[in-house]
Chains A and B, each alone.
Chain A
Amino acid sequence: MDSNEKTWKCGKCGVPLVVKKTVFSYLGRTFTHEVQRCPKCGNVFIPRDLAEGRMAEVEQQMEDK
């Protein structure tokens, strides 16, 4: 199961995370992606497959070779 599909709770606030479009900045560029986010404190959960997949590819493309 995709880890993004699980419903997680915020470790700090104890409330369920909600999926929300979130802005990421990297090397001067901003990107948006839907991730689970705490509606109270704004902390986001980055699932492993996103970190090792698309985010890693963005990093590779932006950081040249």
Chain B
Amino acid sequence: MVRLYYRDSLWSLIAGPTIWAAHFLFCYISAAIFCAKSADPTADFQILRIVIGVATVVALIGIAIAGTQAVDDWRRALNAEWAADEDSLQIRRRFVGRAAFLLSGFSAVATVYVGMTVLFVSSCR
């Protein structure tokens, strides 16, 4: 499985939101350039729709990978010998995995929100 970030680091927390941000920038920049430079935005809007749709799907796949890796880290830590003390390494790993998973979930929702714009709005006006 492709690893999106170093295991056992804080990058896992921001993998999901970073993908959201990249998707957001892609959508905004594509739409801005399209609306500014397209000869016939009405006729060609379908192209923009498809482009953004594909980008959204790609982003969601990326977020899903980040999320499953997070869950993987979380479960891995959980399956290790259970330590009752709060200060164990496994509990710390579990926390990072869990927080990364929650952030991935949230990033997925936010990505869907942004992507679904083109379902409703189809003009450059």
Determine if chain A interacts with chain B.
no
Tell me the A residues contacting B by CB distance below 8 Å.
none
